[in-house]
A and B are shown apart, each in its own frame.
Chain A
Amino acid sequence: METLRGIVDNINYIGALTLFVIGLYTVLTHANLLKKVIGINIMETSIFLFFVSTGYVRLADSPIIDPNKANQIFVNPLPSALILTGIVVALSVTVYSLSLIIKIYEEYGTIDLNEIMEMRGNLSDG
């Protein structure tokens, strides 16, 4: 029962770490370049979830002062603010990597890393 309660209480963190591992697995095992970028995106999302979760306070209000309430508790707004910046960074990385994939496709005619490596191997032999 205790374990179950622990899991339910920390479901955000567990979910974030699971997503992180799924993303990492995708990046490392798939030869398709697009899937690698998707994997990176999953990892980014997982970290954003993790970061935002650190600011969560149970039963707290959003950080706006309400004059009618005494002893208000607020959630921590800082992580959410940081993650807004983080999303912008993630976007720019995604855009840049997608544009590189387009270039790679124009050059090799494929976005499968194994096939590209084979082509490069043939090039250096001949």
Chain B
Amino acid sequence: MVNEHFPIYMLAILLVNAAIFSAFTKLSFRFLKRVVVVNLLLIWIMGVSLFVKVVRDGAFRYNFGDWHQAVGVQFYVDELAVFMMMFILTLSNLIIIYSLKDIEHEIESKQFARYYTLVFLMIFSMLGLTFSNDMFNMFIFMEILSIASCSIISIKNSKGSTLASFRYLILNTLGSLSVLMGIALIYMVTGQLNMNEIHGEISVIWKYYPTNIMMALAFIIIGFGTKAAIFPLHIWLPDAHSVAPTPSSALLSGIVVKVYIFAIIKLLFRVIGVEIVGELGIPTAIAYLAAIGTILGSIFAIAQKDIKRMLAYSSVAQIGYIFLGVGLATKAGLEFAMFHIVSHGLIKTALFLSAGAIIYQTEKRDIRKLDGIAYEMPATMMVFAIAALGMIGIPGTSGFMSKIFLGSVVLQEGKAFYLFIIILSSFLNAFYYMPIITSAFMKSDSEAKVVNDKIPRRMVVPMVIVIFLSIAIGFYPQLITEIIEIAVDSLL
């Protein structure tokens, strides 16, 4: 039943749906919702069966039109790609189910169909980016993703969002162009675009053209780094992620950034190879930047008043952790990076969704005005509190497992300095998350508040599922570490 065409079917369904939504904008929203949910469920089931197939039978390559891989476009569906695919699909499905209710409150009603067009295009391009084994094809998916994710911000039609979206677009395009320049430089010396072919060529020729490859890598890392918000290139992130509609913020912060990080991992270790990258000293540079990012991201977050802006700055810090894992350039480091991609994806999604629920009910975005809010909306604040504790790294959540994982990895590598950074950053995390939790649960206004939860169940259930997944991984990390181990093996 499950065959090797499944990745293409999934992409085709997403693309056809996106086209249909944009053509029939007059459809009633109730009908649209059903179509969205049915299609997402279908895609998810296909994803699960593809995942099971790949884990059981091993990776496979899909050549479009049966062209040879040196000249054609190729999908490489391995454990790493299907793992990332499951992460993207599961999380985006939960966010979209949440968005079906929340979006009525965020954007104009005539934009609903367009919004889901963009969401479907986004998932389409993220899956494409994950599967693609061809550099230029990857660039195309990346461009689709960047335009879709910019328009998903500007769709809100508020003053701030247009400007934030424009800034995001300019920086994103600079990033894409810089990646394209890197691809051109690599193509110049290797004459190949397929990742495996490049890897074969580059291990032979890199001694003859070290400058060329160095420049190519610099362009590519700066390009992807801009998109993934690695520390000095993060300036667009707080604006873009905080003014977007809440479900978009969750999608952008939880998933889109991770897909770019995944692309960097693939490029550094699959295309160029760990020996060459290590020889050029790139991982060390990434690790230093990441360490600075973890600290400064948290410090910026402390200064924020707007809850979504604070969460966005906290993303900068957490992306630093992931890059720290990448920068160690060892098997354990990469395993941590993949683990934290999932862990941070879940926790940050839970935080954004619960913050969105608070805004949905009370229109309050200022963290100083959240006193006693837990009395009003206990379920939402429970989710927020557990997720915030996860960010700090309290045992029982996946955040704790990530931190102890990273701690043991850096100690194995004998780089105890990074452990100090991790602990300091955890303290800083506590510094800006704890006041919100304490004031929401402990302080209350003079009149005793009654439970007045107007959040629809369709918004609460996805939040609870996300936080439940995070707790499940916190107690049983082997749920995902086993597959991560197999996946990373294929990379190094």
Q: Do residues A89 and B71 form an inter-chain contact, with CB atoms below 8 A?
A: no
Shortest Cβ distance from B140 into chain A, in angstroms?
Answer: 6
Does B276 make an interface contact (CB < 8 A)?
Answer: no
Does B154 make an interface contact (CB < 8 A)?
Answer: yes
Interface flags for A70-83 (1: CB within 8 Å of B; 0: not) read: 00000010110010
By the criterion of a CB under 8 Å from any partner CB, how many residues of chain A are at the interface? 31
Does B136 make an interface contact (CB < 8 A)?
Answer: yes
Roughly how many angstroms separate A50 CA and B193 CA in the complex, as a whole number?
Answer: 16
Shortest Cβ distance from B181 into chain A, in angstroms?
Answer: 5
- Most chain B Cβ neighbours within 10 Å, of A36, A76, A116: A36
Does B379 make an interface contact (CB < 8 A)?
Answer: no
Q: Which residues of A contact B150 (CB under 8 A)?
A: 96
Q: Do residues A51 and B165 form an inter-chain contact, with CB atoms below 8 A?
A: no
Q: Do residues A47 and B180 form an inter-chain contact, with CB atoms below 8 A?
A: yes
- On whether A96 and B170 interact (CB within 8 A), knowing A50-B184, A51-B184, the answer reads no
Interface flags for B161-180 (1: CB within 8 Å of A; 0: not) read: 01101100110011001001
Does B201 make an interface contact (CB < 8 A)?
Answer: no
Q: Do residues A93 and B181 form an inter-chain contact, with CB atoms below 8 A?
A: no
Roughly how many angstroms separate A43 CA and B151 CA in the complex, as a whole number?
Answer: 22
Does B233 make an interface contact (CB < 8 A)?
Answer: no
Contact of A40 among B143, B154, B173, B181 (CB under 8 A): B173
Interface flags for A24-48 (1: CB within 8 Å of B; 0: not) read: 1001000001001000100110010
Q: Which residues of A contact B139 (CB under 8 A)?
A: 86, 89
Q: Do residues B184 and A54 form an inter-chain contact, with CB atoms below 8 A?
A: yes
Q: Do residues A47 and B181 form an inter-chain contact, with CB atoms below 8 A?
A: yes
* Interface CB pairs A-B, < 8 A, 12: A20-B181, A43-B174, A54-B184, A78-B71, A85-B136, A86-B139, A89-B140, A92-B143, A96-B147, A97-B166, A104-B166, A107-B159
Interface residues of B (CB under 8 A from A): 71, 136, 139-140, 143, 147, 150-151, 154, 159, 162-163, 165-166, 169-170, 173-174, 177, 180-181, 184, 187-188, 191, 193
Given A40-B170, A76-B191, A96-B169, 8 more contacts at CB 8 Å?
A: A40-B174, A51-B180, A51-B187, A78-B71, A93-B173, A97-B166, A97-B169, A97-B173
